[in-house]
Amino acid sequence: MTATQEDLAGFYDEAYRHGAGHDRHLRWRQLSARGKADHVFDLCESAGLSPSSVVEVGCGDGALLAELGARGLTGELHGFEVSAEAARIARTRGAPGLVDVAVFDGTSLPAADGTFDLAVLSHVLEHVPDPLALLRETARVARAVVLEVPLEANLSARRPAKREGASEIGHLQALDRASVLDMVSSAGLRIEEELLDPLPLEVHRFFARSTGERARATVKGSLRSALFAVAPRAAERLFTLHYAALCKPAS
């Protein structure tokens, strides 16, 4: 591994060791996994895709794999992860259909071309130094790819406090829809289905600790959802939305 990849593995090893015993940390990952799984299911249904084997690249502690397995997405689930600590936690979850979670070097996936029906890259590309290379490698091992990223190249996310917060959780890229579309095309893929999500109120309210904070979070989430409903493009420019797409080879 390069020094950068070693740093990434160490960063996430420490993050998962630190958060493993914290109930709030676990509840946040479970809440996030439910939304991510909703997107995977919605995109597959829209595309008429019923995969029998799914791999999640950058699966973290396996929260999304467990959610997909519990919902019966596929009979066979696999994971790849740069953090050995996260991979260990993912293996212990007992997700239905989980075959294995393997540690990889962040660059090359230990699988043959077209091994899987579907690969999932959910909130991973913003965490890596070369997202295009990882998307290409993911597309190599699967016949379709679902990717999801936060669109953080917006007015709100450019604020210093927001950028600092994103950096603290390991975000190396601030993407917008145009950069994602260019990445997909450069990886030799085409988008078959896509969706945008302004996030539900329970996500906006999750970190609120007081009645006042919950009230402000509710107003914020409601205003964002209302603006997104009437002017989604304006919403993209103003605040962070989650963008998900199902991609297949362009040829």
pLDDT tens digits for range 159-168: 999 999 999 9
Q: Which residue has the tokens 């909130």?
A: 123
pLDDT tens-digit map of 193-230:
999 999 999 999 998 989 999 999 999 999 999 999 99
206 belongs to a structural domain = no
Token pair in block for residue 182: 């260019």
62 belongs to a structural domain = yes
136 belongs to a structural domain = yes
The total number of structural domains in the chain stands at 1
Give me the domain span that covers residue 137.
Answer: 3-198+242-249
**DSSP conformational letter for 127:** G
> Alpha carbon of 161 to those of 60, 77, 123, 199, 209: distances in Å?
25, 38, 20, 20, 19
pLDDT of residue 7: 76
Bridge partner residues of 55 (DSSP)? 78, 119
Q: pLDDT at residue 21 above 60?
A: no
**DSSP conformational letter for 142:** B
Lowest mean pLDDT among 1-15, 110-124, 146-160: 1-15
pLDDT of residue 8: 78
The whole-model pTM stands at 0.92
237 belongs to a structural domain = no
Q: pLDDT at residue 2 above 70?
A: no
Q: What CATH number is given to the structural domain containing 122?
A: 3.40.50.150
CB 135 within 8 A of CB 146: no
203 belongs to a structural domain = no
**What is the strand order of the sheet 145-151 is part of?**
98-103, 76-81, 53-57, 118-122, 145-151, 241-249, 189-197
213 belongs to a structural domain = no
45 belongs to a structural domain = yes
pLDDT tens-digit map of 74-91:
789 999 999 999 999 999
235 belongs to a structural domain = no
